A and B are shown apart, each in its own frame.
Chain A
Amino acid sequence: MSTKSSEEILSANQNPRITWEGCSVLLDINDGDRVLFARLTAGSKVKIGNKNCSLQPLIGCPFGSSFQVEVGEEGPFLSRVVPSTEGNNLGEKMDCQNMEECRDNRTLVDNNTAQSLTSEDIDDMRRKGATGDEIVEALIANSSTFEKKTAFSQEKYRIKKQKKYAPGVLLRRPFARRIVHASLAELQPSHSETSTSIDQLEDACDKESSPASDLVNMEESSNVNLETVSNLAASPKTNKSIKAGEKAPLEAIKSWKENGFSSLIIAAPDLDAWSIVKELVPLLSYSAPFVIYHQYLQPLATCMHNLQTEKMAIDMQISEPWLREYQVLPSRTHPHMQMSSSGGYLLSGIRITAIDQPQPN
């Protein structure tokens, strides 16, 4: 996603949807359990569970491909998983069954004796070179309750065991949305849920960073994930961006002063919104929109009130988006049980001219 890399693509006439040595990727581990950045080099490694795996096998693979941790003679390695039609068959099987599903959990007794394989047995299988999938199958075969489960909870059981014994890695392109979630997860582990406020902010960033525009990133906090900031700042969308931490050239500053900025995005969770807004909103050109994110409502309410009193902006609104994810399955569709209930608040508005008197025509 960096400018340099996109030049590399152009020069080598490479397909940007296939990874190359040295490119930055996002690794989605176990279906969103963990998302992290990585640079694909011959020497780079990633730790999955308690195993260190080389990222070498990921080079030259299309984005979107999946890998599984296997253990070979030279230790653990990542092996490409070719998508099979198994998932679909299972889905169809479930479709047919679920309507007349007659199994239920009336005979299920939770006394920890359902699984007859011990952890020693599993270790033994591993030593003999069994793959993760084989272990999962063995666990299913040795579970006395598996057959009594509904098709849906069988699937749940399988996924749970697969995550543990055959962890998967999904190779993703580092797009803004995914970067945000990866870095959010790093910054605040409890907020790894998708957050719409952040999406809207990021979307605003995307909109403003068309190739003809400057993206100025003011960073006051020092503990922010710098990699994220530089990744965003160096995205191919912004060919004139000022890198985080670098001083803007005088020429650029002069142009900003004369013309004003065409939009403003503030996300400074530890600062008082009004104290920044009153300094930065006057730098906007008239009619330019702004968005201020805060995790608390009150600072934005005060800020909105002050902007109104000072007649600095119109069309103001404080909104709180709520992103609700749904489980969609035949006859089993409902909102997710666990979700983030608020990603924070947004104050948006449009800057207006200061002149407030009828002018003689």
Chain B
Amino acid sequence: MLPIDPTKKLSFNRCIMYGDLVIVYERYDSMKPVKVSENGVLQNRFGVFKHSNWIGKQFGSKVFSSKGGFIYLLAPTPELWTLVLSHRTQILYIADISFVVMYLEIVPGCVVLESGTGSGSLTTSLARAVAPNGHVYTFDFHEQRAASAREDFERTGLSSLVTVGVRDIQGEGFPDEFLGRADSVFLDLPQPWLAIPSVAKMLQQDGVLCAFSPCIEQVQKSCETLKTYFTDIRTFEVLLHTYEVREGNLGSWQDSDGCLGTLKSCKKRHRSTNGLENSSPQTILARRNSEARGHTGYLTFARLKCDM
């Protein structure tokens, strides 16, 4: 997923080989991860696709099934991975992820602590941000979940950047080996305030913490605990509106000959139009999608007090 290996630096430009992870784009909002294998076959509503036909094609290619249906083969990125990973828990999405990575000031070489690992959605982006010489240490108290996450990082080629540990961070805190070493810490725990004293010990001076909590009562309790060790405590929520775009022909009231100038009536006029009089130009129309994620969680950031 990442150009860590210099020989594979231009990963997008590389041709597809056996063993590659590709993101199959079936249509908008329908994607799945596929490992390209010698006798592999992908079957979906668009037909039967043999993996062997994909070999040597560039990422970004359109490939066809025997019955003429098509899909696109995309190179994996953390953004796409977030959309296709298997949900073992509630996950963080791109808007929150971008804001977290930015606010935590994560750059190549950083040491980042995270708990819980969950489905590894944020972890994947954290790994890219610290690459090639930083590291993400992520902890989950659920043994099986940690194991699945490890498998995923193996699959996405990030295992050299991420270490998954099994540990109850709320109960035990982060391991002592990270004392004063972490550049930033991310918490997605039901009771983050229990882990905050440990976070204060792990962070380097001026280091930043982020706690993600869906409920305001959790935020309230976290902020009260944060006051003892941290400053610049700020809580945000990132809402994302998406827009749909279509080409339309809005009828003019003057042209309508008494009919209502609706989008439907344009079609009729369109057919009969040869003269310039009637042809109102096609317009690009945009409107907000009526469905949106109304809430994901509150993001509370804080900076370790500088007491040197």
**Would A318 and B219 count as touching, CB distance under 8 A?**
no
**Would A206 and B107 count as touching, CB distance under 8 A?**
yes
Query: Beta-carbon contacts of B232-253 to A below 8 Å, as 1s and 0s?
Result: 0111111111110101000000
**Would A211 and B236 count as touching, CB distance under 8 A?**
no
- The verdict on A213 contacting chain B, using a C-beta distance below 8 Å, is yes
- The verdict on A324 contacting chain B, using a C-beta distance below 8 Å, is yes
Contact (A206, B284) CB under 8 Å given A95-B224, A287-B75, A324-B239: no
- The verdict on A321 contacting chain B, using a C-beta distance below 8 Å, is yes
**Would A64 and B306 count as touching, CB distance under 8 A?**
yes
- The verdict on A262 contacting chain B, using a C-beta distance below 8 Å, is yes
Query: Measured between alpha carbons, how far is A289 from B60 in the docked complex, in Å?
Result: 10
- The verdict on A153 contacting chain B, using a C-beta distance below 8 Å, is no
**Would A288 and B60 count as touching, CB distance under 8 A?**
yes
Say how far A192's CB is from chain B's closest CB, in angstroms.
15
Q: Which residues of B contact A225 (CB under 8 A)?
A: none
Contact (A237, B237) CB under 8 Å given A95-B224, A199-B99, A285-B60: no
- The verdict on A152 contacting chain B, using a C-beta distance below 8 Å, is no
Measured as residues with beta carbon below 8 angstroms from the partner, the interface class of chain B is 35 or more
- The verdict on A322 contacting chain B, using a C-beta distance below 8 Å, is yes
**Would A199 and B98 count as touching, CB distance under 8 A?**
yes
- The verdict on A249 contacting chain B, using a C-beta distance below 8 Å, is no
Contact (A328, B284) CB under 8 Å given A288-B60, A318-B243: no
**Would A286 and B99 count as touching, CB distance under 8 A?**
no
Taking a contact as CB atoms closer than 8 A, the residue among B59, B204, B236 that contacts A286 in the complex is B59
**Would A213 and B3 count as touching, CB distance under 8 A?**
yes
Q: Which of B25, B98, B300 has the most CB of A within 10 A?
A: B98
Query: Measured between alpha carbons, how far is A355 from B73 in the docked complex, in Å?
Result: 13
**Closest residue to A255 on the B side, CB-wise?**
B10
Q: Which residues from 1 to 33 on chain B have a C-beta closer than 8 Å to any C-beta of chain A? A: 2-4, 6, 9-13, 25, 28
- The verdict on B77 contacting chain A, using a C-beta distance below 8 Å, is yes
- The verdict on B105 contacting chain A, using a C-beta distance below 8 Å, is yes
Taking a contact as CB atoms closer than 8 A, the residue among B2, B74, B105, B228 that contacts A88 in the complex is B228
Contact (A304, B306) CB under 8 Å given A297-B286, A321-B239, A330-B224: no
Query: Measured between alpha carbons, how far is A116 from B124 in the docked complex, in Å?
Result: 60
Q: Which residues from 166 to 223 on chain B have a C-beta closer than 8 Å to any C-beta of chain A? A: 204-206, 216, 219-220, 223
Q: Which residues of A contact B128 (CB under 8 A)?
A: 207, 210
Contact (A302, B60) CB under 8 Å given A199-B99, A333-B220: no
Contact (A358, B238) CB under 8 Å given A200-B98, A206-B102: no
**Would B219 and A333 count as touching, CB distance under 8 A?**
yes
Query: Measured between alpha carbons, how far is A298 from B286 in the docked complex, in Å?
Result: 7
Say how far B115's CB is from chain A's closest CB, in angstroms.
22
- The verdict on A14 contacting chain B, using a C-beta distance below 8 Å, is no
Q: Which residues of B contact A233 (CB under 8 A)?
A: none
Say how far B271's CB is from chain A's closest CB, in angstroms.
21
**Would B79 and A289 count as touching, CB distance under 8 A?**
yes
Stretch at the interface among A50-58, A137-145, A172-180: A172-180
**Would B64 and A199 count as touching, CB distance under 8 A?**
no
- The verdict on B42 contacting chain A, using a C-beta distance below 8 Å, is no
Contact (A65, B306) CB under 8 Å given A305-B245, A323-B99: yes
Q: Which residues from 8 to 28 on chain A have a C-beta closer than 8 Å to any C-beta of chain B? A: 17
**Would A203 and B102 count as touching, CB distance under 8 A?**
yes
**Closest residue to B298 on the A side, CB-wise?**
A326
Taking a contact as CB atoms closer than 8 A, the residue among A63, A212, A322 that contacts B3 in the complex is A212
- B: which residues have CB within 8 A of A? 2-4, 6, 9-13, 25, 28, 53, 58-62, 64, 68, 70, 72-75, 77, 79, 95, 98-99, 101-103, 105-108, 125, 128-129, 131-132, 204-206, 216, 219-220, 223-224, 227-228, 231, 233-243, 245, 247, 284-286, 298, 300, 303-308
Q: 9 A–B contact pairs at CB < 8 A? A: A64-B205, A83-B307, A173-B206, A176-B102, A212-B9, A262-B11, A297-B243, A323-B237, A358-B68
Known pairs A260-B12, A301-B243, A333-B216; list 18 more (Cβ under 8 Å): A17-B205, A62-B308, A64-B303, A83-B306, A95-B224, A177-B105, A196-B95, A206-B101, A237-B108, A285-B12, A286-B60, A286-B61, A288-B60, A320-B241, A326-B298, A328-B300, A333-B220, A353-B62
